[in-house]
Structure 1
Amino acid sequence: MYGHRWVHVGEPGYGVAVLNDATYGHDVSRTTREGGGTTTTVRLSLVRAPRIPDPEADQGRHRFTYALLPGATVQDAIAEGYALNLPLRVADARTAAAPLVTTDGPAAAIEAVKQADDRSGDVVVRLYESLGGRTRTTLHPGFAHTGAVVTDLLERPVADAEPVTAHEDGSVTVSLRPFQILSLRFTRS
């Protein structure tokens, strides 16, 4: 199983997360115990060591950080996975920049904010629904723009996408399905 930053195993009322400081695979297996019940085992796949195309891949000394988070919800796993991967950095108040984009709810996670690949100056925001339910979220860009459209991963407009609702203050509202990944392209003004 491929994953980023965290994996969560849970049941109603209790969960455990395994966090890591990079992009690793996970091995999750479930076995039935003699006499009933199940056991879930979660392991990190830390080194792949493929032979092709580079027979020397993943050889040598490796360093990694991981953490176990008992009692975690999915939301806890996401927050702590990001905290482990992107620790807070102290910045001088004179040089600290305002966020490029913020969102108004915990279910929508902004994964990337980048310039469009075509060098037009447009800004692409990739976000996803992280908690497994439908949600509507409002994004607040920290830059001037003339509109936003849903795009595919190649940053081309998607004709039959759900509409983006634009507001007078420059914010936009989108709807997300459970675990949906969405790319928005903001046209800079």
Structure 2
Amino acid sequence: MRIAVDARGLVVSAYDPAADRETVAPGEAANLLQLHPDFPNMWDAWDVDSFYRNTVTDLTDAESVTAGEDGASVRVVRAFGASRVTQLLSLPPGERRLVIDTEVDWHETEKFLKLAFPFDLHAERYASETQFGHVHRPTHTNTSWEAAKFEACNHRFVQLEEPGWGVAVVNDSTYGHDVTRTVRGAGRPGTTTTVRVSLLRAPRFPDPETDQGVHRFRHALIPGASVADAVREGWRINLPERSATGAREVAPLVTVDNDAVVVTAVKLADDGSGDVVVRFHEAHGGRARATLTAGFPVAEVTATDLLERPVEDGEPPAHEAERIALRLRPFELMTLRLRRH
């Protein structure tokens, strides 16, 4: 991946050499902070009204754009109003993602801060993660129902694609977003699909000090991303790998051989029996077969509900020693109770 950052600290190019594709729309810039006035008609701290979009200020002035201390990143500092933003843009070695660390010292009132990514992409719909799966939403506003979705929610990722190529924006928290699609003017044919993640608001009621102070965000831009890539990178940014130094190697408690199957919980049973409870789901939206391997001898496998009670209907997954064969429907959530030898 090749990233170009201009003197304003904005990403003017995110090129994917493998696909020979430019991610950023022509004449646009990603990593663009935008500030809106925010005066909802009612419920200051809870509502967002669509007319906030009528006025916007692009925060393009930078106090400094310098190389990061590690020599492999770009540090951008901006000031606006009574607030200050420091960003660090980096490319982790061996990974296809641009990581954007943002620190905002926020001291605005009745303002709405967004971070924009305009993509050279014609997408009829986009995927946004929810718990144990993702949902698709249209990018158009042809109906009143779609127009009302001017602000939506996601968990770890938003992903858009044309057939054969896509892009994802992942985050380390859960934030709102908006996605819009526009047809470019003469001289620049094509469609721009813009993802904007919501960072901060500053309501005055009921608490005039709402969100005042320092906030930290981490986002990553992944060109060429499928839904599978978005799922993986979403988890990576939320649960980065941690290493521990010890006297001996410790085998994982469980492993699974299919990336579509995401393990979200490994725990001891609540009843104190010593059984191991494993919860996982199919995350790509298709049917999946996988083998779950326990790092200990397994005597019995029982399918349970979320309260760890045995499920009466259906046969439990077949297992041979510590290997358990799984067959999952799209977005199916499964909990297994493993009794140890």
Q: 1:65 to 1:148 in 2, by over 3 A?
A: same
TM-score (norm 1): 0.80
Contact 1:162 1:175 in 2 (8 A): no
1:147 and 2:300 correspond? yes
Q: Any gaps of 5 or more consecutive residues in structure 2?
A: 1-151
Shift of 1:93: 5.5
Contact 2:301 2:316 in 1 (8 A): no
* Number of positions where the alignment pairs a residue of Structure 1 with one of Structure 2: 187
Shift of 1:138: 1.0
Task: Report 1:53-132 matches (<5 A).
Answer: 58-92=211-245, 94-132=247-285
Q: Deviations over 1:121-166 (max 9, x none)?
A: 2211111112221111111011233212222111112212453111
- Corresponding position of 2:160: 9
1:184 and 2:336 correspond? yes
Partner letter of residue 8 of structure 1? Q
Query: Which structure is richer in relative contact order (CA contacts within 8 A, separation 6 or more)?
Result: 1
Q: Distance in 1 between matches of 2:310 and 2:203?
A: 37
Q: Distance in 2 between matches of 1:186 and 1:50?
A: 49
Q: Any gaps of 5 or more consecutive residues in structure 1?
A: none
Q: Which of 160, 163, 177 is equivalent to 1:27?
A: 177
- Bigger shift: residues 90-99 or 40-49: 40-49
Contact 1:26 1:42 in 2 (8 A): no
- Corresponding position of 1:172: 324
Q: Which has the larger radius of gyration?
A: 2
Q: 1:162 to 1:68 in 2, by over 3 A?
A: farther
Shift of 1:61: 2.1
1:137 and 2:293 correspond? no
The answer to which structure has the higher strand fraction is: 2
Q: Distance in 2 between matches of 1:21 and 1:172?
A: 32
Q: Distance in 2 between matches of 1:162 and 1:77?
A: 32
- Bigger shift: residues 125-134 or 55-64: 55-64
Shift of 1:172: 0.9
Q: Distance in 2 between matches of 1:180 and 1:49?
A: 39
Q: Distance in 1 between matches of 2:311 and 2:304?
A: 5
